[in-house]
Structure 1
Amino acid sequence: MSGVKFYPNASPNDLQTQYVGRFLQDIDGPAAIIDVAVARQNCQIMLDAADKLGVLFRSHVKTHKTTELTRLQVGDKADIVIYGLPVQPSSFPRLAGLGTSLGEWSITVLVDSLYILPFLSRYRELTGYALGVFVKLDTGYSRAGVSPDSPQFRELLEAIYKMEKEEPTTINLRGFYSHMGHSYSSDTTSEALDYLTMEIERCETAAVQASDLWKGSGRRFIIAVGATPTTTSAQNLACLEVMSSAEKKVKELIQRVQQTYDIELHAGAYVTLDLQQLAAHARPAQNHLSFDNIALTVIAEVASLYPHREKPEALIACGSLCMGREPCRSYPGWGVMTPWLHNRGKEGSQEKVGWYDPEGDRTGWMIDRLSQEHGILRWQGPLDKMRKLEVGEKNH
């Protein structure tokens, strides 16, 4: 976004004037580049899979934080879940105001302890609206949530039931929400599906206990599960004619649980994807995720060259502020130079540039280390195959 007129409140017209018709290498970096066609395809594949499976789907938007990509994920209907724990009362009036711009909408919060419940009544007092509630379950990730087998869960469930009875129209228990974040460590489709199976079963344990309390109410609870690897693996169930035993097991589990509860898948990184998602191998060979499915890259300028070092290196104007704090487990670095079409000039031809493939020959430029605002590219592989860099050139 550097150099945008009227930033940070530039209008679409300002942005179009600033960027449309320019070559990528002429854009000031570092800058995030999104391939909208790829992102749109990723969104549609997920929505189609959910429809074929007969499950609900909830989109996470924290990866990109843009209204444009959110609309590709959900359209004009917004069913909002607030992830912040604990709930902040100061945000309640602002959240209620979302209804004026979102049309058909609802707001739900996640709760995972008794300490949060007193704040929920204040939402009704301040806004006049009732809050939906998901109980946030810990199904093995151990970040936030409460275990469905714990005394704390039963105590929380009974407190919510009591609050519903004593303060009608204040809250409404919608279901149980889990995030299988440790599924990012998956190496195969079967492993990702095993994580999904475990998560559904653990959430069903919670829903059964709630059904006993709300018996006779006609309440149909939602079991909300997922992370990008597990939700992506569920796409296999919708597109494969011949399924493995693991795929059959999950599909049968979904069909059984849906007789009593609604299953909702959720994910966020699936829109843009990254090398970490490719490393999870959540989709099999016949429907394989590849670099072509990654919609987000970062363009950065080469600032200096160090060919004399043990391995040739280069300084780029792109550091941890751009690349994030978590490395990808499939290679010992923080990013790779991608195979984009590099324009040599407005009149020049386009040339396919080599890249470091973590699952290929591992030859190419890789971000070896990062500081806050700079990164160090290091060449990996034979020197006679090295693509020479130039100071001032831009790369993804």
Structure 2
Amino acid sequence: MRVEDIDTPALLVDVAIMEENLRWMQAKADRAGVKLRPHTKTHRTPALARRQVELGAHGITVAKLGEAEVMVEAGLSDIFIANEIVGPLKLTRLRRLARRARLAVAVDSPVQVHALAETFASEAEPLDVLIDVDTGDARTGVQPGQPVLELARLVSAAPGLRLRGIYTHEGHSYGAPDVAAVQAVFRRSQEDMLATAALLRQHGLPVEEISVGATPALLVADILPGITEIRPGTYIFLDAAQANLLGTYARCALTVLTTVTSRPTPERVVLDAGVKALTAFVRGAGVCQTHGYGVLKGLPHLHLEKLSDEHGVFTALPGRAWAIGDRVEIIPNHACPTCNLYDRIYGVRDGRVVNAWPILARGESR
């Protein structure tokens, strides 16, 4: 099957670039002596998660319980759900799933600890727990230091639970103004985590895992000694945001294949891919700032300027013709929500389709 035989809009992955990205991050983890536990929320595709494990990953990370259920059904057996699991419906599902695979979950409140302990107290095996630490992202998580120690004591004393360690996400690295600032964010985050782990150990609490990770930081910054695990996600494909950090689109494996469906004026080019095919996601500031709603592959200064539900619009370059029926590939601003819009990813090599991977965890956000 040739790429020309695929109807549009469609999600493509350049297999050679993807494999290079996978091997690059695995090699970085190996050099640092840390585990790579990739965040599969980016692709939500069990076949790609298995490939990451084949190349050396120590299990996977997911964002949602629904993703974990799909991954376990597909044969993945070592999963960290990097999120707080709340409510009796989800806790029942979690208990059922923990009987089939090695799981760990996040906590940042005594409320969650008590609910998990009540759910797992009578289980044959304890549930592993990692404490969510806010090192600057200002999302979930307790503050480093004493607040982590207090929560860790509660976890360690709770029936049915086992304290595995601590984790953080340096999401604020996306908004750092330049590469040096990204590196500083990552260093400070790791230092806070290492100091917090030392505090826990001083008080007799085991810290098996010190887990960190955000793709921007791991692309350009060093991993400090003492860190045990990294959890990048977007590195498998990269996207326009990561390309702006790196200064090149050459490592972007993911594109949306579109067709020119209208040329209503000499300047205006209209594609058959809008919000439902690309998302309207933009990063408004920082070294990962994106411009427009996607970048034309091979034309890094040409962006989609407008999206509606079914259409994307850009302005033609002088002297460059796009005819109705022409195909155009768009590098999305953000790979993760883009993948969630499709049923499958077409793996492409040298203009031919070599794989069609089903995105089995698409929509599994519960």
Q: Normalising by the residue count of structure 2, what TM-score does the alignment of the two structures yield? A: 0.75
- Given that 2:132 and 2:167 are in contact with CA atoms closer than 8 Å, whether structure 1 keeps it comes out as yes
1:334 alignment partner in structure 2: 293
Report the Cα offset of residue 269 of structure 1. 0.2
1:390 alignment partner in structure 2: 323
Percent identity among equivalent residues? 29
2:235 alignment partner in structure 1: 270
Report the Cα offset of residue 70 of structure 1. 1.1
Deviations 1:124-151 (A, max 9, x none): 357533211110011111111111146x
Report the Cα offset of residue 193 of structure 1. 1.7
1:161 alignment partner in structure 2: 156
Report the Cα offset of residue 47 of structure 1. 0.9
Using the alignment, how far apart are the partners of 1:128 and 1:295 within structure 2?
44
Alignment of 1:264-343 (within 5 A): 264-281=229-246, 290-307=248-265, 312-328=267-283, 330-339=289-298
1:222 alignment partner in structure 2: 209
1:243 alignment partner in structure 2: none
Report the Cα offset of residue 325 of structure 1. 3.4
Instruction: Select the residue among 28, 31, 34 that pairs with 2:10.
Output: 31
SS at 2:236's partner residue?
coil
Q: Indicate how the Cα distance of structure 1 residues 141 and 331 shifts in structure 2: closer, same or farther if over 3 A, else same.
A: closer
Using the alignment, how far apart are the partners of 1:325 and 1:199 within structure 2?
30
Instruction: Select the residue among 195, 207, 218 that pairs with 1:231.
Output: 218
- Given that 1:319 and 1:371 are in contact with CA atoms closer than 8 Å, whether structure 2 keeps it comes out as yes
Report the Cα offset of residue 314 of structure 1. 2.2
For structure 2, the 5+ residue unaligned runs are 60-77, 330-366
Instruction: Select the residue among 76, 89, 92 that pairs with 2:91.
Output: 89
Using the alignment, how far apart are the partners of 1:272 and 1:178 within structure 2?
22
Q: Indicate how the Cα distance of structure 1 residues 98 and 376 shifts in structure 2: closer, same or farther if over 3 A, else same.
A: farther
Using the alignment, how far apart are the partners of 2:10 and 2:211 within structure 1?
34
Using the alignment, how far apart are the partners of 2:194 and 2:123 within structure 1?
33
Using the alignment, how far apart are the partners of 2:260 and 2:99 within structure 1?
45
Report the Cα offset of residue 195 of structure 1. 1.4
Instruction: Select the residue among 43, 46, 65 that pairs with 2:22.
Output: 43
Alignment of 1:1-396 (within 5 A): 21=1, 23-75=2-54, 78=59, 79-87=78-86, 88-96=90-98, 98-99=100-101, 106-124=102-120, 128-149=124-145, 152-163=147-158, 167=159, 170-186=160-176, 188-214=178-204, 219-234=206-221, 254-255=224-225, 258=226, 262-281=227-246, 290-307=248-265, 312-328=267-283, 330-339=289-298, 355=299, 357=300, 362=301, 364=302, 366-379=303-316, 383=318, 385=319, 387-396=320-329
- Given that 2:98 and 2:127 are in contact with CA atoms closer than 8 Å, whether structure 1 keeps it comes out as no
Q: How many residues align?
A: 302
Report the Cα offset of residue 119 of structure 1. 2.5
- Given that 1:50 and 1:57 are in contact with CA atoms closer than 8 Å, whether structure 2 keeps it comes out as yes
Deviations 1:139-188 (A, max 9, x none): 111111111146x544322321322xxx2xx2111111100011113454
Larger Rg: 1 or 2? 1
Q: Indicate how the Cα distance of structure 1 residues 147 and 318 shifts in structure 2: closer, same or farther if over 3 A, else same.
A: same
Report the Cα offset of residue 192 of structure 1. 2.2
- Given that 1:185 and 1:280 are in contact with CA atoms closer than 8 Å, whether structure 2 keeps it comes out as no
Using the alignment, how far apart are the partners of 1:159 and 1:328 within structure 2?
38
Letter in 2 for 1:367: L
For structure 1, the 5+ residue unaligned runs are 1-20, 100-105, 235-249, 282-288, 340-354
Q: Any runs of at least 4 consecutive aligned residues in structure 1 with deviations exceeding 4 A, and if so which?
A: 328-331
Using the alignment, how far apart are the partners of 2:210 and 2:129 within structure 1?
12
Using the alignment, how far apart are the partners of 1:206 and 1:275 within structure 2?
34
Using the alignment, how far apart are the partners of 2:123 and 2:311 within structure 1?
46
- Given that 2:85 and 2:105 are in contact with CA atoms closer than 8 Å, whether structure 1 keeps it comes out as no
Q: Indicate how the Cα distance of structure 1 residues 81 and 123 shifts in structure 2: closer, same or farther if over 3 A, else same.
A: farther
Q: Indicate how the Cα distance of structure 1 residues 264 and 26 shifts in structure 2: closer, same or farther if over 3 A, else same.
A: same
Deviations 1:82-127 (A, max 9, x none): 133234213224422543xxxxxx2100111111112222543575
Using the alignment, how far apart are the partners of 1:224 and 1:331 within structure 2?
28
Using the alignment, how far apart are the partners of 1:190 and 1:107 within structure 2?
36
SS at 1:230's partner residue?
helix
SS at 1:292's partner residue?
coil
- Given that 1:93 and 1:126 are in contact with CA atoms closer than 8 Å, whether structure 2 keeps it comes out as no
2:353 alignment partner in structure 1: none
- Given that 2:240 and 2:290 are in contact with CA atoms closer than 8 Å, whether structure 1 keeps it comes out as no
Report the Cα offset of residue 393 of structure 1. 2.4
Letter in 1 for 2:92: S
Using the alignment, how far apart are the partners of 2:124 and 2:290 within structure 1?
52
